């Protein structure tokens, strides 16, 4: 499976899960079910971010090789590799 296909599949899965979460909010699903959907959305979003970050790093390395410019190891286009966790902690709590 190509990198593009992986990103497409992960984003499609994220959209489907978000649709379930939205439906649950609109139709009064139990808090536990909403929490489970929110946790899956958060996990899928982080996985998608990892795929996109890896693609960006690879693109930066290829761009550096093509232009002959040196890139800082692991960084592409001036963005840091480590992005802070933006998922609210309460979504990730496991009871």
- The pTM score is 0.61
Spell out the residues 6+ positions from residue 33 whose beta carbon is closer than 8 angstroms to its own: 24
Domain count, the chain: 1
Residue 88, Ramachandran bin (φ over 0: left; ψ between -120 and 50: alpha; else beta): beta
Judge whether residue 47 has pLDDT over 50: yes
83-87: average pLDDT: 52
Judge whether residue 14 has pLDDT over 50: yes
Residue 33 has a pLDDT of: 94
List, for residues 50-81, the tens digit of each pLDDT value. Answer: 888 887 776 666 556 555 555 444 444 444 44
Between CA 38 and CA 62 the distance in angstroms is 36
- Structural domain span for residue 26: 3-92
Residue 76 has a pLDDT of: 46
């Amino acid at each position: 499976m190509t990198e593009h296909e992986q990103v497409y599949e992960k984003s499609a899965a994220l959209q489907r899960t978000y649709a379930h979460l939205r439906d649950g909010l609109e139709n009064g699903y139990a808090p536990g079910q909403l929490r489970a959907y929110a946790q899956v959305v958060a996990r899928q979003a982080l996985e998608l971010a990892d795929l996109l970050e890896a693609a960006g790093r690879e693109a930066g390395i290829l761009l550096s090789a093509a232009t002959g410019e040196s890139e800082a190891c692991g960084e592409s286009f001036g963005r840091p590799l480590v992005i802070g966790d933006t998922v609210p902690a309460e979504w990730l709590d496991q009871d």
